[in-house]
Amino acid sequence: MSSSASAKTAAPASTRAKPANKAEAAADYLDGRLGIYSLAKSNLRKIFPDHWSFMLGEICLYTFIIIILTGVYLTLFFKPSMGEVVYNGSYAPLNGIRMSEAYASTLNISFEVRGGLLIRQIHHWAAIVFVAAMFVHMMRVFFTGAFRKPREINWIFGFLLLFLGFFDGFLGYSLPDDLLSGTGIRFMEGAILAVPLVGTYISFFLFGGEFPGTDIVPRFFTIHVLLIPGVMLGLLVAHLILVFYHKHTQWAGPGRTEKNVVGMPLMPVYMAKAGGFFFLVFGIIAAMSAIASVNPVWAYGPYRPDQVSTDAQPDWYMGFAEGLIRVMPGWEIRAWGHTLNLGVFIPLMLFPLVLVLIAVYPFIESWITGDKREHHILDRPRNAPVRTALGAAWISLYLVLLSGGGNDLIATHFHLSLNDITYFVRAGSFIVPVITYFVTKRWCLGLQRRDKEKVLHGRETGVIKRLPHGEFIEVHAQLPQDKLHTLTSHEQYEPVELPAEVDENGVARKVGLLTKTRAKLSEGYFGEHGQITKPTAEEHHEITSGHGHH
Amino acid sequence: MSQDMSDDKLPQAHGAGEGHGEVAAADNPFADPGLPPHEPRRTDIDERAAKRAERQVSLLFIVSMLATVGFIASYVAIDPAKIVYIFPLGHISALNFALGMTLGVALFCIGAGAVHWARTLMSDVELPAERHPIEADDEVRADVIQQFKTGAGESGFGRRKMIRNTLIGSMALVPLSGVVLLRDLGPLPGTSLDTTAWKEATPTTPIRLINVNTNLPMKAEDIAVGSLTFAKPGPSALRPDGLQESDEDFQQVIAKSALMLIRIQPSDIKDAKSAALGFEGVLAYSKICTHVGCPISLYEQQTHHALCPCHQSTFDLSDGARVIFGPAGHPLPQLKITTDASGYLIATQDFDLPVGPSFWERNA
C-alpha cells in the first residue's frame, strides 16, 4: 500500500548536475526540448580561418538580410496596382499628372512617409551591393579554386543565387512604374517577342494581353517579394549549411594542411567579428543612402509607352545584357510567313549561356584533371595560370559588353563617336578576351618564376657586397622555412597522356574523341606552357650547399 | 574514358597528413614547420593598453546610442519637405540626410566596437581543428546500400514493373495541369500585334492626326520643314472623342499607335514609295522602334536621321526609315496620310507594316 503510493509521487532523480545559475537552468530547459547541447557541441568553438577575402561572402549575406528587412517595410506602404490616379501630393512638379497607383505610392514613400525615402534608398543600394558582392565573392571562389571537390554543388547554389539576384533586381526595378522602369519592361517585351514559335504567347500571358496591360505590376510584385526571395532564402540556407558542413577553405601556410583547418573559434572571436561586420555593412549602406541618391523615380515621371528619356539604362548588373543587345547587328530572317529576329534572340540566348558556362566550370576542370580528391587548401591564382586567365578573360568580356551597354554615356562623357564605340565593342567582344587570356597567363607564369627564384636564391636584401677580386654581388637572404613551405606547397598536375596506341595484346586501341580532347585540354592546362615546374628540395640543396655557384 | 588513363599524374599533396608542430627533417627545407608560436599583442601584455582598448570599444557603443537618439529626434523634429544645401552633395532632403547619417553612425559604431573588441581583447590564438572526409567509410556505405536494397525489395518497386511504369507516367503527366492552369493569364495573341488603332481609318471614315501636346488636329502647314511632331489618333467611330489619356486602354493603344511626323523638302526624299505615303513632304512614321519597342525621340534635322535612345538604332527618315545603324532589323512602319476637305491631316488606312519589334508570326 505505502510502497505503491510512494512510487506514484517520487520522480526518479535526475543524474544531471544541478545548474549553477539561471542561465544554465534555462539552457537545460531548452536542451530537454530542443537538444541544444548536442547542436552546440561541435559548433560553439568551430574554427574559422581568417583572410580578408573571406568576408566577401559575408557582405552578400548581410546585404540580403538588409534587403529583406527594408523590403518588408516598403511593402507596408507600396501599392502594387496599375489602377490610375491623378497625383496630388507634396511633390509639386507632378501634381495633376495621371499615373499608376504603384508610381503614386512610390512618390508617397519618397516624400510623405518619414524615413520612407531612406528605406527605399537602402533597399536599392543594398541590392546593388548584394549583386556586386556576389560577383566578387564568386570571383574569389573561382580564382582560388575553392569550388573544387567537395564544394562543386555549393558553387552551383551560389551561381543560382547570383542568377536569381539578377532577375529579382530587374523585377524590383520595374515595380515603381516610372518612365525608366517601364522602358525596361518594354525591352523585355521585345526580347520575349523575339522567341520563335511561342514568343507572342509568352508575352500575352505575361502581360495579360497586349503590352503594357494592367497586370504587370501586381504580377511582378508577387514574383519579386515572394517567389524569388523564397527560393533564394532556401538556396542561401543550403549554401550556408554546406559551408558549415565542409568547413572553410584556407590558404597554404605553416601548420595548415588538407586535413585541418586553422583559425579562431566562432565563440567569441567570429561572433564578434562577423556580427560586428553586419553592423558595419548596414551602417555604411545607410550612410550611402543618406548621401547618394539612386533611382530618383520622381525625376523620370510616370511610364507612358510613347515617351522615353535619353540615357535609359538598367542597373549595372544587367549592363552586360544591355551591351549584348546594343551591339548585336539587326539580323532578321523572314521566310514562310514567319520572322526570326536573330538580332534580339541571339543576345537573349547568349546571356544565360555565358552564365551557364561559369556554372559548369568546376565539372569541366575536374574532368580535365581527373582529380577525385577533396581540396581544402586554396590555390594562389598564379599557380593555376589557365584557370586564372580564363577568369580574367571572362571579366574582360563582361567589361567590354558593359561598355557596350553604356555606349551613349561613354560617347557623351568622353566625346567619342557612339558608332565607333559600338564597332569597337563588336570586335572587342572577340579580341579583348583572347588578349586578356594570354596576358594574364604570361603574367601568372612570370609570378611563378619569381616565386621559384625567391625559393632557390632567397630574397634580395639590398646589400651590395664587393668581393676581394673586385666583383660586386648583391647579397640574397635565404627565406625562412615557413615561407619556403608556403611558396612550394601548391600542387602541380602533370598533363594526362593518351593511352598507348596498342593495348597489352598488341591490338590497336580505339581512342575516342572525348579522350583526345581531354588530353589536349590537359596539355594546355598543365603542359610545358601551362605552368613553371616547382623547385625541388634537391635543387634548393644544391644551390644553398655552397658547392655550386649561381 | 577516364578508366584508360591512370591516376599517377595526380600530384602528391604537399604536407597532407603531416602533423602540425613537427619540425621538418633536415633534408627537406620545404617541409611544413608547423604552426608558429603565438605572438602576443600589446593588449595581451600591457594592462594599460587593454584598458584603453576597453574604453575605445565602450566609446563606440556610446556614440551608437547617441546616434540612435539623434535618429529618433530627427524623425520627430525635421519637416519631410525641408531641403538643405550640403556641400558637396547639393540640395538634398534634410530628413533623409539626418535619418540616414544617424542610422549609419548608430549601426557602424556597433560594428566597429564589436570588431575592435574582437581584435584587441579577445584571444587571437589560432587553433587547428581536424577535418574529416565528407565521404562515408566503406562499412557505412555498404550498410546503407544494404538497407536501401531491403527497403526497395520490400516495396516491390523493381519487381512490379507495371506499377513502376504507370507511376512514372502519372508523375510525368501531372505537372501539365500546372502548365495548363497558366492559360488564363492572358488572351491569345491572335492577329492583334499586326494592327493598331489606325486600322479603323478608311477612305470613307478617315481618322485625324492629333498633336500630342496641343490635343488639336493638325494641318500640313503647321509642321515646319525639319521639325519633329508627335501625334495620336483622333476621333473615330469606336472612339468619338479621339484617344484620351483618361481612356482605360490609353497605354495599350498609344504603345502601338504613337506617330512621329516630320516634314522634309519633297526633293530630299530618296524613297519614292515613302514620298507617296506622305503629303507634301510630311511623313508619318511609327514612333515605336522596330528593335525592342522603345519610343524613338531623337531627330537630327540636317540628316533626317532618327535615333532610338535606348539601343541607338538609327533610321534614315528621308529614305523610307531604313536602318542605317544599330540593332534594329527592319525599317519603321509608315502611315499613309493625306488631308480632308478642311485641310487637316488624316489617315485613311493602317500602317504598311506591323508596328514595333519583330515576332514569330510577323509576315512582312
Q: What is the DSSP string of A393-413?
A: HHHHHHHHHHHHHTHHHHHHH
B208: left (phi over 0), alpha (psi -120 to 50) or beta: beta
Contacts of B306 (CB under 8 A, 6+ apart): B228, B260, B262, B285, B296, B298, B299, B300, B314, B315, B317, B321, B332
Contacts of A410 (CB under 8 A, 6+ apart): A403, A416, A421
User: pLDDT for B14-23, tens place per residue?
Assistant: 544 444 444 4
Counted residue by residue, chain B has a size of: 364
d(CA A79, CA A113): 14
Q: How many pairs of residues across A and B have Cβ atoms under 8 Å apart? A: 412
d(CA A544, CA A536): 12
| 8 Å CB contact of B100 and A46 | no
d(CA B146, CA B152): 10
Nearest residue, CB atoms, B130 vs list A260, A276, A494: A260
Distances, alpha carbon A308 to alpha carbons A33, A186, A303, A471, B298, in Å: 61, 11, 8, 75, 10
| 8 Å CB contact of A211 and B118 | no
Contacts of A242 (CB under 8 A, 6+ apart): A151, A153, A154, A157
d(CA B241, CA B210): 11
Phi, psi angle pair for A98, to nearest 5° = -80, 135
User: To 5 degrees, how large is the angle CA B2–CA B5–CA B11?
Assistant: 100
Grid coordinates representing A357 are 558556362
Q: Which residues of A25-36 are buried (b: 16+ CB within 10 A; e: fewer)?
A: eeebeeeeeeee
**Structure letter (DSSP) for residue A542:** H
Residues of A in contact with B108 (CB under 8 A): 279-280, 282-284, 286-287
Task: Please name the helix (run of DSSP H) or strand (run of DSSP E) that holds residue B279, with its range, or none.
Answer: none
Nearest C-alpha neighbor of A482 from the set A251, A257, A253, A252? A253
Rounded to the nearest angstrom, the minimum Cα separation between A267 and chain B is 10
Mutate to test the interface with B, among A259, A328, A368 (most CBs of B within 10 A): A259
Write out residues in chain B with pLDDT < 50, as ranges.
1-3, 15-24
User: How deeply is A45 buried, as exposed, middle or buried, from its count of CB atoms within 10 A (0-12, 13-18, 19+)?
Assistant: middle
| 8 Å CB contact of B36 and A339 | no
Residues of B in contact with A266 (CB under 8 A): none
pLDDT for the residue numbered A499 = 77
Residues of A in contact with B105 (CB under 8 A): 283, 287
Within 97-116 of B, beta carbons closer than 8 Å to A belong to 97-101, 103-115
Place of cell 529576329: A341
| 8 Å CB contact of B108 and A374 | no
The CATH class that applies to domain A66-379 reads mainly alpha
Cβ A371 vs Cβ A149: under 8 Å: yes
Rounded to the nearest angstrom, the minimum Cα separation between A539 and chain B is 11
User: How deeply is B351 buried, as exposed, middle or buried, from its count of CB atoms within 10 A (0-12, 13-18, 19+)?
Assistant: buried
d(CA A196, CA B210): 36
Place of cell 574582437: B118
Contacts of B230 (CB under 8 A, 6+ apart): A306, B211, B212, B213, B258, B259, B260, B261, B287
Residues of B in contact with A493 (CB under 8 A): 9-11
User: How deeply is A152 buried, as exposed, middle or buried, from its count of CB atoms within 10 A (0-12, 13-18, 19+)?
Assistant: middle
Please check whether residue B130 touches A, CB under 8 A: yes
Cβ A116 vs Cβ B100: under 8 Å: no
Residues of A in contact with B230 (CB under 8 A): 306
pLDDT for the residue numbered A389 = 95
Nearest C-alpha neighbor of A297 from the set A121, A184, A178, A172? A178
User: pLDDT for B294-326, tens place per residue?
Assistant: 999 888 888 899 999 889 899 999 999 999 999
| 8 Å CB contact of B100 and A304 | no
d(CA A332, CA B291): 10
Cβ B37 vs Cβ B124: under 8 Å: no
Residues of B in contact with A495 (CB under 8 A): 9
* Residue in chain B lying closest to A270 (CA): B118
Nearest C-alpha neighbor of A145 from the set A365, A354, A447? A365
pLDDT for the residue numbered B22 = 45
Residues of B in contact with A540 (CB under 8 A): 29-30
Listed as own residue / partner, the contacts of A229-232 with beta carbons closer than 8 Å and 24 or more positions apart are A229/A68, A229/A71, A229/A168, A231/A164, A232/A64, A232/A161, A232/A164, A232/A165, A232/A168
Beta bridge partners of B83: B93
What is the overall mean pLDDT for chain B? 89
* Residue in chain B lying closest to A321 (CA): B311
Grid coordinates representing A154 are 555549393
Place of cell 492626326: B209
d(CA A267, CA A45): 6
| 8 Å CB contact of B127 and A47 | yes
Question: Pairing mode, if any, of strands A84-86 and A98-100?
Answer: antiparallel
d(CA A122, CA A128): 10
Residue A215: strand, helix, or coil? coil
pLDDT for the residue numbered B3 = 45
Q: What letter represents residue A210's amino acid?
A: E
Please check whether residue B295 touches A, CB under 8 A: yes
User: To 5 degrees, how large is the angle CA A284–CA A287–CA A291?
Assistant: 135
User: To 5 degrees, how large is the angle CA A303–CA A304–CA A308?
Assistant: 85
Listed as own residue / partner, the contacts of A33-42 with beta carbons closer than 8 Å and 24 or more positions apart are none
Contacts of A10 (CB under 8 A, 6+ apart): none
Please check whether residue B121 touches A, CB under 8 A: no
Distances, alpha carbon B350 to alpha carbons A277, B200, B202, B355, in Å: 62, 8, 8, 10
Q: What is the pLDDT along chain A (550 residues), one digit of tens a residue?
A: 444 545 556 666 677 788 889 999 999 999 999 999 998 888 898 999 999 999 999 999 999 999 999 999 999 999 999 999 999 999 999 999 999 999 999 999 999 999 999 999 999 999 999 999 999 999 999 999 999 999 999 999 999 999 999 999 999 999 999 999 999 899 999 999 999 999 999 999 999 999 998 999 999 999 999 999 999 999 999 999 999 999 999 999 999 999 999 999 988 999 999 999 999 999 999 999 999 999 999 999 999 888 887 667 788 888 888 899 999 998 998 888 889 999 999 999 988 888 899 999 999 999 998 888 999 999 999 999 999 999 999 999 999 999 998 888 888 899 999 899 999 999 999 999 999 999 999 999 999 999 999 999 899 899 999 999 999 988 889 899 899 999 998 988 888 888 777 777 878 878 888 888 888 899 889 888 888 888 888 888 888 776 544 4
Within 233-292 of B, beta carbons closer than 8 Å to A belong to 245-246, 251-252, 254-256, 258, 287-288, 291-292
Nearest residue, CB atoms, A339 vs list B29, B126, B360: B360
Rounded to the nearest angstrom, the minimum Cα separation between A450 and chain B is 17
pLDDT for the residue numbered A20 = 87
User: pLDDT for B93-108, tens place per residue?
Assistant: 999 999 999 999 999 9
